[in-house]
Structure 1
Amino acid sequence: MADQQNSLRRPTSTASFIQKLRQHAPNSTQLVGLATLVISGGILLLLTGLTLTATVLGLIFLVPIILISSPIWVPLGTLLFIAIAGFLSFFGFGVAAAAAVSWLYRYFRGFHPPGSDRVDYARTRMADTASHVKDYAVEYSGYLHGKVKDAAPGA
């Protein structure tokens, strides 16, 4: 009798495993999500394989044609590349020039566009440097003039 009571109180290891499994069992939403993931993953894997197969077969059949007609394609590709690069460069430089003119217009109108403080600082530094060079030249011009007379006393 005591054995029966102990067995009723303590679940067996199989029963406890099944009970834990039921507690962690996924619900129907999770099962549908898993099924969707498996199906879409399989479809994408199939499409990847088909794409790779078609690419390899296309290269196998088209490489001889490309090699035979390469004397036509190489100059044509080069010409096309140069034309497209020139076109994009032309419009790129045009946009850059328009932006520069717009910035200069705003700067000279006094609207202080971004970066105008750096331009003002550079302008004052150049003016200060020119002033220092001028002062230095005036100060030492007499010294150099005297040295020239020493080098050529008859001059």
Structure 2
Amino acid sequence: MAATTEHHREHYRTFGRDQPEHHTDIGQTLREKSPSGTQILAVVTLFPLGGALMCLAGLILAGTLIGLAVSTPLFILFSPILVPAVLTIGLAVTGFLTSGAFGITALSSLSWIINYMRGGKGQHIGQMVQGQGQSYIEQAKRGVRDTAGYIGQKTKDVGQKTQEAAGRT
């Protein structure tokens, strides 16, 4: 045994390592490496809880698979009713969400324009184009007026054509 210990010391000297520490007291070694009371309490508490949750997860999985096996024939039988119903509900929800998104976008744009007209936030954008902000606003106002006039004229023309068509019959 002395030869083995000498061999280990020679090995550590050869590779430039310090000699390992040898503990002669096994009780001291066990006390240093043993888990603390808190760690033991955590394991004692969490091990049964983890096991119970794993059992519960297994039961839920089994119940889900049994429910799916029972309900699959019903889904196949009623699919001519369910598929269109799901598509209709999906399209309705998509329509409402899209409408809301466009409404919020429109309201925020109008709010920004009103705030810009009053000289609030966003006025610096007009100043960045070297004072041409007011001319852009005037052009936009003129465009809105022209478009409103055009739509009004078209509405009058359609109304007259409708009255003429009604008068002929």
Per the normalisation by structure 1, the TM-score is 0.61
Shift of 1:120: 5.4
Out of 83, 90, 106, the position equivalent to 1:74 is: 83
Change (3 A) 1:61 1:119: farther
Partner of 2:99: 90
Distance 2:107 2:129 in 1: 23
Partner of 1:40: 49
Partner of 1:138: none
The size of the alignment, in residue pairs, is 112
Q: Whose relative contact order is higher, 1 or 2, with alpha carbons under 8 Å and at least 6 apart?
A: 1
Out of 34, 49, 65, the position equivalent to 1:56 is: 65
Distance 2:85 2:108 in 1: 34
C-alpha RMSD over aligned residues: 2.7
Per the normalisation by structure 2, the TM-score is 0.56
* Contact 2:23 2:29 survives alignment (8 Å): no
Structure 2 unmatched ranges of 5 or more: 1-21, 136-169
Distance 2:97 2:89 in 1: 12
Shift of 1:118: 5.2
Partner of 2:25: 16
Shift of 1:28: 2.2
Change (3 A) 1:110 1:70: same
Distance 1:122 1:90 in 2: 34
Out of 121, 130, 141, the position equivalent to 1:112 is: 121
Shift of 1:44: 2.1
Change (3 A) 1:34 1:117: farther
Aligned sequence identity (%): 32
